[in-house]
Structure 1
Amino acid sequence: MIFMHSSRQTRTSGRRRALTGTMAAALLAITLILTGCGATGVPADANTSGSTATPSPAGDGTASGNSAGPSDALAGEEPALDLPDPAGIEGPSSAETVAEILPIEDPQTPELPVTVTDHGGQEVTVSSTDRILALDLYGTFSDIVTGLGLGDRLVGRTSSDTSPAMADLPLVTSGGHDLNAEAILSLRPTVVLADTTLGPPEVYDQLRAAGVTLVMFDPDRGLETNEDIMARVAQTLGVPEAGAALIERYDAEMETAQARIEALVPDDEADLVSAAILYVRGTAGIFFVMGSDSGGDVVESVGALNSAERAGITGTKPANAEALAALNPDVILVMTDGLESTGGLAGLLERPGVAQTTAGQKQRIVDVPDGQLMSYGPRTPQALVALAEALYNPEGLQ
C-alpha cells in the first residue's frame, strides 16, 4: 500500500504494486542483517562493508491509547495544512515513538483446545494460553497478543519488545537477538509463538523436545500480510472473534492514516523528495544501503521517491562514497539507536560520502525508532504517520 494523492494515483500505481510485492524481500534482508548482530548490533558480515507518542489515527481513545500530539487531526476531517516545501526543509528530525497498543474492547475468552497447522507444516494443538511467549525480530507478535486482550499472559520478552508495559518481563534473548533456550524453558510457557527471524534454529528443536507447544509463523512481513498474521495469531490463541475486531480497528486506522499522509504529501510529483534507508551501527564498517528490494521501498509508503530504486541499487550494499553518490537522496532515514551508536548527526556526516549528498549538505537526516522503521502489526498506521510527520512537518513535532 502506498499513500498518494488521487492526482498522482495513475502514474504511481506501478510503484504501489511494487511496494506490496517486494516488502517481504525487504524484511528478509533486514532480518539477515539484524540476526547477525551481537550485543553491539554489529552484523556478522561487518568486514564486507568499505517522545512523545504519536496519537492514534482513529482518534477515539480505544484504538491505541495514544496521547495527544501532532496528529490529532486524524480524529476527524483533515484541516488545510500550511507546510513548507519538502525540498527546502533543512536539519535533522526524529519520528515520534508511537504509543503502546491498547486491547480491544471486551476481549474474548480463549476457546480451547485449538489445532492449527503452522508455517512449518506441523500440526499443533494449543490447550492453554495461560503463559504466552511471543518471539520475533520486530515485536509484531507481542503487539498482536496485547491488542487481542491477552497481554497480561505474556511471561517474557525479546530485545525487540521495547514496550514499557513489558519492561519488567524476563529477557529470553542474549547477545542481541539470540534466543536462550534455558531462559525460555525456565518461564514454563504453555504456548510459544515464533518465526525464523530469531534463532538459532536449534533452540526451536530444544523446545519441541522439551514438550513445549510451539507454533511457527511465516517470517515475511508486509502491509499486504498484516491482516492475515493478526487473524492467524488470534486463531492460534483461540480468540478468532477478537482477531476480527482487532483487524476491523486496524482497517479504520489505516484509512485515517492514509488521509493524514495524503494531507502531508505534496500534490505535484515534481515536489516530492527522494529518500534512502541506511543501516548503521557503531563507528567502524557497519554501514549499508538498503536497496530497492531490501528496505528502500518502505519510503514509498509515505509518498517519497525511492532513491535506491532510481539508482538501480538492489540488495544490501556497503554504503561507500560511490554508492551514496549514486543515491544522492534528499532525505536519509536511519534507525535511532544506529544513529546514536555512530556518534549522532556529526558522526554520521563524517562517514565517507554522506556529507556530499543533498541530504548531508542540508543535514536532512530523519531517525526512526528501531522498532518502527519496519513496523508491522496493529501499530503500522501510527508508525507510518509518525514517519510522514517527520518527513513533511518536522516543525509540528517541536
Structure 2
Amino acid sequence: MPTALIILAAGQGSRMQSGLPKVLHQVAHAPLLVHAWKSGDSVDPERTVIVAGHGGEAVAAAARDHDSDVAVVRQTEQLGTAHAVAQAREALAGFKGDAIVLYGDTPFIQPDTLAAMQTARRDGADVVVLGFEAADPGRYGRLVADGDRLERIVEAKDASADELSITLCNSGVVAADVQTLFGLIDQVGNDNASGEYYLTDIVGLARAARMSARVVVCDEAETMGVNTRMDLAAAEAAFQTRKRLEAMENGATLTAPETVYFAHDTHIGRDVVIEPHVIFGPGVTVESGATLRAFSHLEGCHVSDGCIIGPYARLRPGAELDRNVRVGNFVEVKAATIHEGAKLNHLSYVGDAEVGARANVGAGTITCNYDGVFKHQTIIGEEAFIGSNTALVAPVTVGNGAMTGSGSVITQDVPDGALALGRSKQVNKDGFAHRLMAKLRATKARKTN
C-alpha cells in the first residue's frame, strides 16, 4: 500500500530557551527533524510533507537540504495536533494510500515499529496508534484499550482518576488511510481543557463510526521526545549508545566505546579498530580492516581498508584515502586524494592535493594551497619522497620518484626522478657562537648589577 509521511515540526519549543526552532537542534550532527524523517524513510514513502510553524523558513530550508523535493506546509496558528495534520491536506491531494503521522521532536521511532503499524493496517485496522508502557505516565495521554483493541485516547489534563491509573500511553504516532484521516480530523472539536483540536480525538470518532482502531506497542525509549536541553543531551547519549552497540555487533572493535562519538550517517566496516576518543563528523565511511587511533577526528571523508589513521589525526571533508594509507600524528588532510600505500606520518598539512601511490611525505610538510582568494592544487607523484619541513607552494607538481630536500620551499614543478632544493646556502662562521654568547652574558650581567 502506498504510504505518505506527515511530520509535524511546527512547535516553538520554548523550554529549549533558544531562538532556533526545536526540531533543528541537533543530535549526532543532524537536526531532530532529520532523525524522525530517517525513521519514516524505512517505510519507503511516496510522499513526505513537513508541517512547519515557528521558524518556518529555517525549518523549510533544513528540510530541503535533506530532500529538495519535499513538500513543506505552514501551520500559521498553533491550534493543536489535529489542526497541524490538516495543513497537509492540500499537499496530499489525489494521494491514495496510508499516511503515517510522525513528530519532528521524537527522533527514535524504529523501522520495526513502523512496520508493525503497517501490518496492523493491512490486517484491517482503520486507525493504528503507537503506544508504550510508561514508567511514569505523568502528563501523557492514556490509551483506553481492551488488548490491542483501542477504544479512545484521553489527554492527561482531561482524564478521570481511573483513566490516570492507566500506564499504556500515547506516543502521538498514528497511521490511517489518508481519506479516513482527514475525514475524521474534519469532525474534531476543541471542547477540552486547552481549547485545542487534538489528533487523539480521531480514535473515539472512528469507534463511533464503527471503524476499528488498534494499538501497537513499542519500547518507551523509542518515544523519547526532546523538549529541553536536558532532553537533548539524553537523546544524544541514547543515540551514541545505540550506534556504538550497532558498530560492535557489525564487527568493529571499540576499545573504549563510551569515548567514541558517531555522527548520524557514520558507516563502519567489519574488523575496524577504533581506539579511545575518536570523533566522527558527518559523511564518514571507514572500510573493513582500518585502524583509527586515539584522539583522531574524521569528517566528510572516506577511509579504505587497511589504513591506519592517527593518533591525533584530522581528516576533513574531501579526504579520500586509498588502501593501506598511513596518516599519522598531528596530520591534517583536506580535499585530497591519497593513493594506495602513501605515508603522511608526522605533523603535516595536505590540502587540495593528490598524493601518489607509495609516496612518503616527511614531517612538517605543508601544501600552501590558498593565495587569499583561490585554492590551488598540489600533485605529488608515485613513490615521490618529500623531505621534512617542505613547503609546496601550489599550483605545483612533484613528479614520480622525485625528491625534495628538507626545508625546501618548492615553487616550480619537479620532473620525474629529480631532486629539488629550494633553500638558501648554509654559511658557517667559525667561533662566532662563542663570541656572541659571551657578549650577551656580559650585557645581562651589567643589567642585573
- TM-score over 0.5 for the alignment? no
Q: Which has the higher contact order (CA 8 A, sep 6+)?
A: 1
The TM-score range, normalised by the shorter chain, is under 0.3
- Which of structures 1 and 2 has the bigger CA Rg? 2
The structure whose residues are more often strand, as a share, is 2
Normalising by structure 2, we get a TM-score of: 0.22
